[in-house]
Chains A and B, each alone.
Chain A
């Protein structure tokens, strides 16, 4: 990515020797600034005693490690439920939106638009507080409603983006609408949509951290428990330094998987019939990010 931007942008020409020397100077200066900034942060960390053994010993205890692992397990559990259920709900709503029957179409459109316009946290709180549901089902239900609606739109645009000829040929062979969708359109659409589907699952994974706000005992919650322990001199920064790389790493792994799939798709002849898989939502209304 970094190399292609230099050659393929309208902003400037390929630099000559003088310009390259100037860019090198800029590079040295900005590197110095970054290093100074990092050094300052490191100094602040040391200055506020974040690296004392007292604050880091808790991580050597077995109980604390188990607490963190249990939190991580709960996060992954919520993610697994939410992912499977939102894929199912997304498929259901997409079928509804593509239906030939007016009322079914209207109802699914209404549901999809409403749940995409609502903050996912409002839904989670509503289910948790008003319907008095346990934290895990509340979190999963909220995530499912939101991500399912977004995925429904993804599926729908995917199916619609399959080349017209494919559908027409299938109908001409005497297939029914259900057959056309399941045997011809959906397989091609899913292949083309796979990267978008995975990136939406990254959103779901990130949003499982909302469970912290409704006291679901997930990863962040486990971290909070350790961080607010007076015995270890409130090791808040160490906890953040342990938790965030794991959280961010998980999401990055999934994001990279999505990019990898997307790159493979581009060379795959099986997805040719789908043309440009426009993943971006068409209207301004939705927000794809959590």
Chain B
């Protein structure tokens, strides 16, 4: 118990670091995933190919390798940024592949008849997309996107091992200060549980509000 109360600021810093990483990487992953999903369903062949390659490669890349390549590799090109930005880049790109697949299968769940009906009513492409297809797709993608973002929060732990301030990394300092390792890990675990349960609760609310009634 003492470990938490005596190192409140250290834990707080780590916790905030993880939250920040998760939030920024989530935003990047959602935006990039949306772009890639729209590439994957585009009528233009070469765009579809970019989307397919992006997903196939990133889904099969070990995240540690991606971190390794981004955090230690990009500086070789003269691109020097804070480690946290690199970590957000790696996490965001990695997760965007999973988000892309979730969004694409969401769009594919919308029956073809819906689009045909919209077009036969004289709706333009933008109207069909914005008023008919996306609202229906949105409902069915809430759960998979939620579990993808939870996985992202858990994956952010890898950033800690690459000397980015976050929750898991706090164990090192605590270890050096001579605190009980087991208790410091217990509080780290509690921190991660808080974050994953919070995301899960958020998506349960979204699901209840907008999800498909089954």
Contacts and interface: CB of A to CB of B under 8 A. Distances in A.
Nearest to B110: A10
Nearest to B57: A248
Q: How large is the interface on B (under 10, 10 to 19, 20 to 34, 35 or more residues)?
A: 35 or more
Contact of A10 (B48, B49, B133, B155): B133
A136 B112 CA distance: 51
Given A236-B76, A237-B73, A240-B69, A206 B154 contact: no
Interface string A8-28: 111111010001000100110
Contacts of B188: 122
Given A13-B119, A251-B62, A27 B189 contact: no
B207 interface: yes
Contact of B151 (A130, A223, A283, A287): A287
A10 B140 CA distance: 15
A227 B71 CA distance: 14
B112 A284 contact: no
B48 A5 contact: yes
B150 A287 contact: yes
A contact patch SS: helix
A284 B146 contact: yes
Q: How large is the interface on A (under 10, 10 to 19, 20 to 34, 35 or more residues)?
A: 35 or more
Nearest to A130: B181
Contacts of B175: 129
Contacts of B189: 118, 122
B203 interface: yes
A285 interface: yes
Interface in A29-82: 30-31, 34, 44, 48, 50
A98 interface: no
A202 B76 CA distance: 30
A26 B59 contact: no
A207 B147 contact: no
Interface string B121-138: 000010011001100000
A261 interface: no
A286 B189 CA distance: 16
Nearest to B109: A10
Interface of B: 40-41, 43-50, 52, 56-57, 59-65, 68-69, 72-73, 76-78, 98, 107-108, 110-116, 119, 125, 128-129, 132-133, 143-144, 146-148, 150-158, 160-161, 168, 171, 175, 181-182, 185, 188-189, 192-193, 196-197, 200, 203-204, 207
12 contacts: A9-B41, A9-B115, A10-B133, A11-B107, A30-B46, A130-B182, A202-B60, A213-B161, A237-B73, A255-B59, A287-B152, A290-B151
Interface of A: 1-2, 5-6, 8-13, 15, 19, 23, 26-27, 30-31, 34, 44, 48, 50, 117-122, 125-126, 129-130, 202, 205-210, 212-213, 220, 223-224, 227, 236-237, 240, 243-244, 247-248, 251-252, 255, 280-281, 283-290
10 nearest A-B residue pairs (beta carbon): A287-B151, A10-B115, A209-B62, A251-B60, A119-B154, A209-B64, A119-B157, A206-B62, A213-B161, A130-B181
